[in-house]
Amino acid sequence: MSSRCSTRRRSRCMASVGFCPAGWNGARKTPNRNLLITSSFDGDQLTCVTHVTASDDPLQDGERGGPERVPELVRAGNVRCMRSFAEATTVVGTRDGVYSSTLDDEWSIGKNPHGGYMMALLTRAALTAAERPHPLAVSAHFLRSPDAGEVELRTEPVKRGRLFTTVHARLVQGGKVCIDATVTAGELTDAPHEWEATQQPPIKPLHECDDHRLPTEGGLLGNIDVRLDPHSTAFLRGETSEGEVRGWMELTDGTDFNPLSLIVAVDLLPPTILGLGHTGWCPTVELTYQLRALPAPGPVAGYTRCDALHPDGWFNEDAFVYDSRGRLVAQSRQLALSGNALEGR
Amino acid sequence: MSSRCSTRRRSRCMASVGFCPAGWNGARKTPNRNLLITSSFDGDQLTCVTHVTASDDPLQDGERGGPERVPELVRAGNVRCMRSFAEATTVVGTRDGVYSSTLDDEWSIGKNPHGGYMMALLTRAALTAAERPHPLAVSAHFLRSPDAGEVELRTEPVKRGRLFTTVHARLVQGGKVCIDATVTAGELTDAPHEWEATQQPPIKPLHECDDHRLPTEGGLLGNIDVRLDPHSTAFLRGETSEGEVRGWMELTDGTDFNPLSLIVAVDLLPPTILGLGHTGWCPTVELTYQLRALPAPGPVAGYTRCDALHPDGWFNEDAFVYDSRGRLVAQSRQLALSGNALEGR
C-alpha cells in the first residue's frame, strides 16, 4: 500500500519519527494526525497500512486526505485501532475523585500492561484531581498486574498546598488494588537548570544507534521507537556486560514526550540485569519518578543503571532521561525482582 | 564528673563512638546501656555528665554500676532524658492498625523533628502491621512538619504477598496528615551481593575525617556522630564546590545501624546544595528509601549528590550508604526545595 501514501503524508512520517516507510524493515506505526501508518516488510513485500483512529468524522478533514487516500485494507475493515499516548491515557470522571479508564493492550509487554504506562494513566487521574499540570514526584508500588481492559482510578487529595498538591491514587481492577501511588502535583517553569552535574553518562548520537535497534514485537514497542547504544547490546548477543543500558526513545504517535509520557520513558529500556546474565520478566515492585525539567521537542536519551543485585533477587534500576538539548528532564529509581531469582524460590 | 567514669564505662565510650571523652571538644552524648554520658569542654573545664534514662529501676543493674557511680548532677535531679534510637521510635498499638508514639525533641534539627527519624518511626509501625522485619522500600511524601510530641500512626496493609507485604502508612498530628508513606515490607538474607557496581564514590577513611567533624548543636546531632570528608567541607568555609557530600555516621547510643535506623542515615548529611551556595532549610518533599543489604556492625559511610537544581528551587538528592565492609546497604533519592528559592517566592 505504500504507493497510496501521499507525499505530504510521507514527509510527515519522516519528520515525526525520522524514517521513510519504504526504507524500513520491521513493523512501525506512525500517526498523521488521525491517520496512522504501519509499514512492514515481509520478505520482499512492503506493506504500508493506514489505520483510522477513533474520530467523529475521520474522513472529512482535508488535512488528512480524502477517501481516495484511504487504502483498501482500511476500507475492507482490516483496521487495528491504534491509539496515541494521549488517547491511551484518557480518564473519565465517574464520581467524586474516581475515574474510569481502559488499559490498552497495545501498551503492553507481552500480556502485561506496561508499568510506566499504567503509572502515567494513574498520574493523569491524580493531576486531574489536583488541578495541577505537572507530576513533580510520583511514587508507585506495584501490587499485582492487571489485564488490559477496564480499570478504576481512585484519587484522594491529601494536602493542597501553595506550591504543590499531594494526591494518593490507586489503580483498581475487579475490586483489587493493582498500583498504590502518591503524586506530588505542581508546576515547573521552562527555565534552564540553575546547576547541573557535569558528569552526564555518555550516550552515542541517535544516528549511531541505527544498527542496534530492538526487534519490534508489537504491543508497547509499536508505540515507542527504542534504539540502543551499541555499548548496551551485549545481552542481545548472549554476552554479559555492565549493569547499565543507554539508548534513545521516541513516541511513534508523532508527539513529543511530555511530563506524563516521560513516566513511560523512565521504565522503557531493557532491564539492566540482562547485561548481568539474568533473563525473564523482572517485575517492578516500587518506582519513584521525578520530573526535573520540561522536555524540549525531539527524541530523548535514556541512561539506566543498576547499583547492586542482591542474591534474593532484589535490584535497583536508576533511570536518567535527557531531552534533545541534553538537559536532565526526568529521573527514576525502581526496586525490582530478578526473574531468575523468582524462578528459584 | 569525668573522674567518676569507671574504666569499664570509658572503654565502652571508646568502643561505641571511637573517641575518649577527655580528648573531645564539643558536646556529645554516649550511652552505656541505660547510662548516657555527655562530655563538654567549656573553656578549660571538661565536664562529663552521666544521665539516667527512663527505666523501671535504673540503679539495680550491676552492669550499669552501682549508685556510687551515679554523679551528683543526676542525684540532684539535673537529668536530661536522652533516649536511644530504639526508644525514640517506640510505637504502641492502640486499635486495629493504629499506633501511638512520641516524636522526641532530641531527634530534631532545630525545632523540626528530623524527616528520616519520623520516617523510621512511621516505618516501624508499618513493619509491625505487616509482621515482616525489613523495610525493602519506603516512599514518603512530607506534607507538613509536626511538632515534637504525640503522634498517631495509621497503617493499612494494602496487599499481603508471598515475598512482601505493602502497607500504606500515615503520620498524623492534631488530625492532620504530616507524612503519607507506602512501605514494602519483607525479609533480606545476610548474603553478599551477587553483583555490585564497581564505581563506588571515593570516601576518605574515618580517621582522616577527624579534623572536619561538624560542630555539634544538640538535638539530632547529639544522637549521631557525623564526620565529613575534607572534600565536602567547602561550605563550612563559605566556599562553593560540587553538589555532593561524603562522610561517616555512627549512632551515639552505642548500637549499630539497622534497616530502620539506616532511614535516618540516608537523610543525615548536610544538604548537597550548600556546596552550590544555597543556604537555609531545604524541606524534603518526597523521599524514597531502599534497603539493599543488612549492614555489618560499625560506622557507615555516606555519599550524597545532587544531579540538577531547577531555578524553581526543586532539586534531587541521592544518598548511598555503605557499611564497614564497603557494601552498599541503603539508597535513597529525595525531591527537596531550596530554602533560597522558597524565600524568593
Tens of pLDDT, residue by residue over B90-125, are 999 999 999 999 999 889 888 899 999 999 999 999
Q: How far is A311 from chain B (nearest CA, A)?
A: 5
Out of A58-67, B36-45, B242-251, least confident range: A58-67
Helix (H, G, I), strand (E, B) or coil at B226: strand
Give B171 or B241, the one with higher predicted confidence: B171
Please give the pLDDT value at position B279. 81
- Other residues' Cβ atoms within 10 Å of the Cβ of residue A95: 8
Retrieve residue A39's grid coordinates.
509499514
Q: Which CATH superfamily is domain A206-343 in?
A: Acyl-CoA thioesterase, double hotdog domain (2.40.160.210)
Q: Which residues of B touch A331 (CB under 8 A)?
A: 307, 316, 333
Give me the residues of A, 126-165, that contact B with CB < 8 A: 136-137, 139, 141, 143-144, 158-159, 161, 163-164
Give the number of beta-carbon pairs within 8 Å between A and B. 173
Out of A97-106, A218-227, A241-250, B213-222, least confident range: B213-222
Q: How far is B272 from chain A (nearest CA, A)?
A: 12
- Whether ipTM exceeds 0.85: no
Task: State whether B164 and A285 contact (CB < 8 Å).
Answer: yes
Q: Mutating which of A123, A200, A307 best tests the B interface, going by the most B Cβ atoms within 10 A?
A: A307
Which residue in chain A has the smallest CA separation from B330?
A308
- Other residues' Cβ atoms within 10 Å of the Cβ of residue A79: 16
Task: State whether A195 and B243 contact (CB < 8 Å).
Answer: yes
Burial class (CB in 10 A: 0-12, 13-18, 19+), B42: exposed
For B194, the closest of A144, A188, A309 (CB atoms) is: A309
Task: State whether B139 and A286 contact (CB < 8 Å).
Answer: yes
Please give the pLDDT value at position B278. 87
Write out the residue limits of the CATH 2.40.160.210 domain(s) in chain B.
86-186, 206-343
pLDDT at A222 over 60: yes
Burial class (CB in 10 A: 0-12, 13-18, 19+), B133: middle
Burial class (CB in 10 A: 0-12, 13-18, 19+), A263: buried
For A309, the closest of B193, B242, B335 (CB atoms) is: B193
Average pLDDT over residues A221-246: 84
Q: How confident is the model at residue A210 (pLDDT cuts 50, 70, 90)?
A: low
Q: What mean pLDDT value characterizes chain B?
A: 78
pLDDT at A136 over 80: yes
In angstroms, how far is CA A168 from the centroid of its own chain? 23
Q: How confident is the model at residue A96 (pLDDT cuts 50, 70, 90)?
A: very high
- Residue matched to cell numbers 482510578: A153
Query: Which H, E and C letters describe chain A, residue by residue?
Result: CHHHCCHHHHHHHHHHHCCCHHHCCCCEEEEECCEEEEEEEECCEEEEEEEECCCCCCCCCHHHCCHHHCCHHHHCCCCCCCCCHHHHCCCEEEECCEEEEEECHHHEECCEECHHHHHHHHHHHHHHHHCCCEEEEEEEEECCCCCCEEEEEEEEEEEECCCCEEEEEEEEECCEEEEEEEEEEECCCCCCCCEECCCCCCCCCHHHHHHHECCCCCHHHHCEEEEECHHHCHHHHCCCCCCEEEEEEEECCCCCCCCCCHHHHCCCCCCHHHHHCCCCCCCEEEEEEEECCCCCCCCEEEEEECCEECCCCEEEEEEEEECCCCCEEEEEEEEEECHHHHHCC
Task: State whether B308 and A243 contact (CB < 8 Å).
Answer: no
For B166, the closest of A168, A180, A273 (CB atoms) is: A180
Give me the residues of B, 19-78, that contact A with CB < 8 A: none
Of A122-136, A199-213, B7-21, where does the model show the most confidence?
A122-136
Q: How far is A162 from chain B (nearest CA, A)?
A: 10
Give me the residues of B, 163-202, that contact A with CB < 8 A: 163-164, 166, 168, 177, 180, 182, 184, 188-189, 191-197
Percent of chain A scoring above 70 in pLDDT = 73
Q: Which residues of B touch A195 (CB under 8 A)?
A: 243, 273, 276, 306, 308-309
Q: How confident is the model at residue B211 (pLDDT cuts 50, 70, 90)?
A: low
Q: Which residues of A touch B194 (CB under 8 A)?
A: 276, 309-311
Q: How confident is the model at residue B191 (pLDDT cuts 50, 70, 90)?
A: very high
Q: Which residues of B touch A290 (CB under 8 A)?
A: 286, 316, 333, 335
Give B38 or B288, the one with higher predicted confidence: B288
Q: Which residues of B touch A161 (CB under 8 A)?
A: 143
Please give the pLDDT value at position B215. 53
Q: Which residues of A touch B144 (CB under 8 A)?
A: 159
Q: What mean pLDDT value characterizes chain A?
A: 78
Q: Mutating which of A276, A314, A345 best tests the B interface, going by the most B Cβ atoms within 10 A?
A: A314
Which residue in chain B has the smallest CA separation from A311?
B194
Average pLDDT over residues B44-70: 34
pLDDT at B13 over 80: no
Q: Which residues of A touch B191 (CB under 8 A)?
A: 310-312
Q: Which residues of A touch B166 (CB under 8 A)?
A: 141, 143, 180
Please give the pLDDT value at position B267. 95
Average pLDDT over residues A236-251: 86
Q: How far is A222 from chain B (nearest CA, A)?
A: 32
Q: Is B86-186 a CATH 1.10.8.60 domain?
A: no
Q: Which residues of B touch A273 (CB under 8 A)?
A: 195
Give me the residues of B, 277-336, that contact A with CB < 8 A: 285-286, 288, 290, 292-293, 305-312, 314, 316, 320, 328, 331, 333, 335
Which residue in chain A has the smallest CA separation from B198?
A307
